[in-house]
Amino acid sequence: MGDLVQVVIAKYNYWIYITLMMIGLYAMIAKNNLIKKIVGMNIFQTAIILFYISIGMKKGGTLPIVEHGHGAHHHAVHAADYINPLPHVLMLTAIVVSVATLGVALALGVKVYNRYNTLEEDEILAQIRKK
């Protein structure tokens, strides 16, 4: 039991990210409203970003900006002192991708609404079937 608690505490960020990812995935599959699905999609994407940021975290590391910038050529820079910058870079890209997807998704949602006057998927399908 003690081991389990240790595991849970040592990796709590990963548990939170999994929870958020499940919330997002559930919303994307189970929700009926198109905009709600888009909200779920964004939560899903942010959860993955949280996961990547957690990878880069180093205990005792500081921000990934070299201290006293230009005068510091003679200072040796130790990798263990700075947080891993690579996941941050990857996630900047992922955030941009998520806002791009959001824009296209909302444009499509507005287009669907223009045609059917509703955002509920079952009502739209009922309208299609009626024709």
Partner 1 sequence: MPWQLDLAILTLVVIVGIGAITVKDLLGAAIMFGAYSFMMCLLWSIMGAVDVAFTEASVGAGVSTVFFVAAVFRTTRRTKD
Partner 2 sequence: MSQDYPALLVIVPLLSAFIISAAGWVNKRLCFPLSVAALSVSAYSCIGLLLRVLNEGVVHYRLGGWPPPWGIAYYVDYLNGLVLCVVSVAALINLIATKKSIEQEFPEKTGPFYTLYVLFVTGMLGITVTGDAFNLYVLLEIGSITGYALLAMGDEDRAPLASLNYLYMGTIGACFYLLGVGYLYIVTGSLNMVDIAHILPGLYQSKAVTAAFIICMVGVWIKMAFFPLHAWLPNAYTFAPSAASSLIAPLMTKVMIYVMIRLILTVFTPAFAFTTLAVSHYIVWLACIAIVMGAILALAQHDLKKMLTYIIVAEVGYMVGGAWLGNRAGMTGAVLHIVNDALMTLCAFLVVCNIVYKVRGYAFADLKGLFAKMPFTMGAFVIGALSIIGVPPTCGFFSKWYLILGAIQAHHYDFMVALLFSSLINVVLFFRVFEIGFYEPFSDHEGHEHHSAVMAEAPLSMLIPLYIVTAGLILAGLYTGDIVNHIIRFVIPEGFI
Partner 3 sequence: MKITGLIIAVLAGALLMYATVDFPPFGDPYSPASMHVSPRYIEKTMEETDVPNMVTSVLADYRGYDTMYETTVIFSAGVACFFLLRIFRRKEPGERLYRHVLTGVTIHVKKGAKLPPSDDFERIDTAWIPHDLIIETGCRLLIPFIQLFALYVIAHGHHSPGGGFQGGVMLGASVILLAISQDLRTAVRRFSEKVDALLCAMGVFIYAGTGALCLLLGANFLDYSALAPLLHTDPVMARSHGIFIVEIGVGIAVMATMIWIYCNVSSKGEYEEGL
Give me the residues that bind partner 3 (CB under 8 A), please: 7, 10-15, 18-19, 21-23, 25-30, 32, 54-61, 63-66, 69-70, 72-73, 77-80, 82, 84-90, 92-93, 96-97, 99-101, 103-104, 106-108, 110-111, 114
Task: Give the C-alpha distances (Å, rounded to integers) separating 27 from 2, 32, 50, 92.
Answer: 34, 9, 18, 24
What phi, psi does 120 have (nearest 5°)? Answer: -85, 130
What are residue 62's DSSP bridge partners? 82
**CA-to-CA distance for 92 and 96, rounded, in angstroms?**
6
Choose which of 16, 20, 83, 94 interacts with partner 2 (CB under 8 A). 94
Any contact of residue 78 with partner 2 (CB under 8 A)?
Answer: no
Residues 6+ apart with CB under 8 A from 84: 55, 56, 57, 58, 61, 64
Is the Cβ of residue 68 or residue 74 nearer to partner 1 in the bound state? 68
3-state secondary structure of 69: coil
* Nearest distance in Å: CB 1, partner 1: 21
Interface with partner 1 (CB under 8 A): 12, 16, 19-20, 23-24, 26-27, 31-33, 35-36, 38-40, 42-43, 46, 49-50, 53-54, 56-57, 61-65, 83, 87-88, 91-92, 95-96, 99, 102-103, 106, 109-110, 113, 118-120
